[in-house]
Amino acid sequence: MDGAAILTLLGERFGRGILETHAQCGDHTAVVARGALPDVLRFCRDDPRLAFAVLMDLTAVDYRAYPGREDGPRFEVVYHLYSLGHNHRLRLKVPVGEDDATVPTAVALWPIANWFEREVWDMFGIRFEGHPDLRRLLMYEEFTGRPLRKDYPINRRQPLIGPKV
């Protein structure tokens, strides 16, 4: 199935759950409403025409400083899916506001989502609802702030804090 057909299929199946679709540089992308995300992900994995068995990557982007997008939802959680059987790819994006930065977890579908989501929580402070063990992944527990947010200054120094004696 080529990318355009995948986007059409998703659009027909989920209607208003798919906010927007586009293809840029050959990458096909569907912007998914947060409420529809669990169903879309499950459909992508289980439908034999799509069969996205691999969650290749899960990350987020902070659009706070992006020209023209200052007023929209601040974050986008980005899923890159790959199908081993059909050899096709798809990108899903979920816009999330700053005040309510939560997304349903995908751990039940792909176990790798556990670490990827921990990293996004660590770096962006986006909470994944239903995640079994949402700890920081790369930074240490005592670290304050979310380093990959655009309002985190790159030169801020924080002391390494050991266990309290």
**Interacting residues toward other proteins by CB under 8 A:** 24-27, 29, 53-57, 59, 61-62, 65-67, 78, 80, 84, 87, 89, 91, 110-112, 114-115, 123, 136-140, 147-148, 152, 154
Instruction: Round to whole Å and give the CA distance between 113 and 92.
Output: 14
Of residues 10 and 29, the one with the C-beta less far from other proteins: 29
For other proteins, the closer of residues 35 and 85 by Cβ is: 85
C-alpha span between 150 and 61 (Å, rounded): 9
Return d(Cα 155, Cα 106) in angstroms, integer.
33
Cβ of residue 36: shortest distance to other proteins, in angstroms?
21
Token pair for residue 44? 């992508």
The least distance separating other proteins from the CB of residue 24, rounded to whole angstroms, comes to: 5
Asked if residues 42 and 51 have their Cβ atoms less than 8 Å apart, the reply is no
Shortest reach from residue 70's CB to other proteins, in Å: 11
For residue 62, the tally of other CB atoms under 10 A from its CB is 20
Q: How far is the CB of 34 from other proteins (least distance, A)?
A: 20
Task: Give the nearer residue to other proteins in terms of CB position, either 37 or 106.
Answer: 106
Edge-to-edge strands of the sheet including 88-96?
18-24, 27-32, 88-96, 75-83, 54-62
Q: In the complex with other proteins, which residue's Cβ is closer, 43 or 63? A: 63
